[in-house]
Amino acid sequence: MKNTISRIGQSIKLPGLSFLMAFTITGIIIAVSDEKVMNKIGSPIEFLKSAGASVGNAYLALFQGSIYDNRLAKSNFFEGFYPFFETLVTATPLILTGLSVALAFKSGLFNIGAQGQFIFGAIGASYVGFRFELPVGIHILAAALAGIVLAAIWGGLVGFLKAKTGAHEVILTIMLNYIAAFFILWLLKTKTFLRPGRIDPIAPEVADSAKLPLLAGENFRIHAGIFIALAAALFVWWLLTKTTIGYKFRAVGANSQAARTAGISVPFVITSTMMICGALAGLGGAVHVLGSEHALNTDVAGSFGFDAITVALLGRAQPLGTVFAALLFGALHTGGRMMQSNTGVPLDIVVVTQGLIVLFIAAPMFVRYIFRLKKLNASTSLTSKGWNG
């Protein structure tokens, strides 16, 4: 019992301290950039008071914008949770793209390409969604499948090229992200994808039969995609821990030389990992289009694919960790909007917070150094390999 507690204590110490440092630094930036605070720099006590108020208000707005806002609970208690549902809507695609990056980490690959894979997932789902008329249920399945297949090909291409030529997946995925971004710009100008009567790049809305069902009525955007995302997390967990192929993935991730000696086909693992990663990110794109966007536009991917990397790093490439990390970053982004409109602190500060958290998580030696800790569970297992690896 005591052991378990100390083990849990050890495992949350690093994230805990990282959070603490990240939110402290963010707070300092918010205070220093607030002219109301800086005007009081003459008197230390007033200065600290107003700095505290400035940061406190910003963080309160961050909470109200992402979890619960009593001002919204006009007719009943439940309505106050509107921000939390918004957080879930943002977190849904993040969970899926985060899982894509996390799974790649498990096989020793650094998948920066979730952005491009997401775009292809969105393209596939959108096309089947607006082009065909199918019964409810089947339409959703077909659209999602189209997105998954396209994205799995796009992701699998990376794995195939790496396995065949030894080219580094980081370079390949960065380049393919740009290509995907230009591709969607072009695609939305073509007759097939441009919505009739529009000149701005937007595709037709997907048919009602292809839209994911809403979970809490018309007033909330929360849709069934969150369950799909959670199921995907469960799938990744099952794949990694309960199947032979998952065992092979982890073996190659831990030591590809040893895995090769043990008779595991490394090229097969690389290619199939990247295909599954592509499929996961593509499902993210599909769910985003079918669940909340309903129409393809050039900015459909937002920064879901890039945030996915910070999500997976924070979640230490574990499925459950990734879900929590996606919820946290989803909350930061959703709450950041409220913070921006209510307190004038630009939304972009949450990107800094996010970056800082991940920086410290990835640098256990640094956290240990700052807090003079003797022991800290340091095995983040988050490494990629040099260009030649």
Q: Which residues of this chain interact with other proteins, rule CB under 8 A?
A: 29, 33, 110, 112, 161, 164-168, 170-172, 174-176, 178-179, 182-183, 185-186, 189, 306, 309-310, 313, 345-346, 348-356, 358-359, 362-363, 365-366, 369, 382-389
CA pair distance 164, 119, nearest whole angstrom:
25
Rounded-to-10 torsion of CA 73, 77, 78, 81: 60
Three-state DSSP state, 202: strand
- In the bound state with other proteins, the residue whose beta carbon lies nearer, of 222 and 332, is 332
Alpha carbon 344 to chain centroid, angstroms = 26
Supply the minimum distance, in Å, between the C-beta of residue 369 and other proteins: 7
Supply the minimum distance, in Å, between the C-beta of residue 244 and other proteins: 28
Helices (H) and strands (E) in the chain, counts: 15, 0
Pair 26, 347: CB distance under 8 Å: no
- In the bound state with other proteins, the residue whose beta carbon lies nearer, of 162 and 294, is 162
Supply the minimum distance, in Å, between the C-beta of residue 266 and other proteins: 17
Supply the minimum distance, in Å, between the C-beta of residue 16 and other proteins: 19
Supply the minimum distance, in Å, between the C-beta of residue 265 and other proteins: 20
CA pair distance 65, 54, nearest whole angstrom:
16
Supply the minimum distance, in Å, between the C-beta of residue 223 and other proteins: 28
Supply the minimum distance, in Å, between the C-beta of residue 161 and other proteins: 5
CA pair distance 279, 285, nearest whole angstrom:
10
Supply the minimum distance, in Å, between the C-beta of residue 7 and other proteins: 24
- In the bound state with other proteins, the residue whose beta carbon lies nearer, of 12 and 179, is 179
Phi/psi for 297 (5° steps) reads: -135, 170
For 288-301, give the secondary structure using H, E and C: HHHHHHCCCECCCC
- In the bound state with other proteins, the residue whose beta carbon lies nearer, of 327 and 345, is 345
- In the bound state with other proteins, the residue whose beta carbon lies nearer, of 29 and 134, is 29
CA pair distance 28, 53, nearest whole angstrom:
12
Supply the minimum distance, in Å, between the C-beta of residue 112 and other proteins: 7
Residues in the chain: 389
Q: What residues pair up with 297 in beta bridges, in sequence order? A: 202
- In the bound state with other proteins, the residue whose beta carbon lies nearer, of 57 and 209, is 57
Could you give the residue ranges of the DSSP H alpha helices within 65-137?
82-106, 114-131
- DSSP letters along 9-56, please? HHHHHHHHHHHHHHHHHHHHHHHHT-HHHHTTTTSHHHHHHHHHHHHH
Phi/psi for 202 (5° steps) reads: -145, 140
Pair 296, 193: CB distance under 8 Å: yes
Query: Within a 13 Å sphere around the CA of 237, how many CA atoms are in the beta-carbon half?
Result: 12
- In the bound state with other proteins, the residue whose beta carbon lies nearer, of 194 and 362, is 362
- In the bound state with other proteins, the residue whose beta carbon lies nearer, of 217 and 386, is 386
- In the bound state with other proteins, the residue whose beta carbon lies nearer, of 145 and 382, is 382
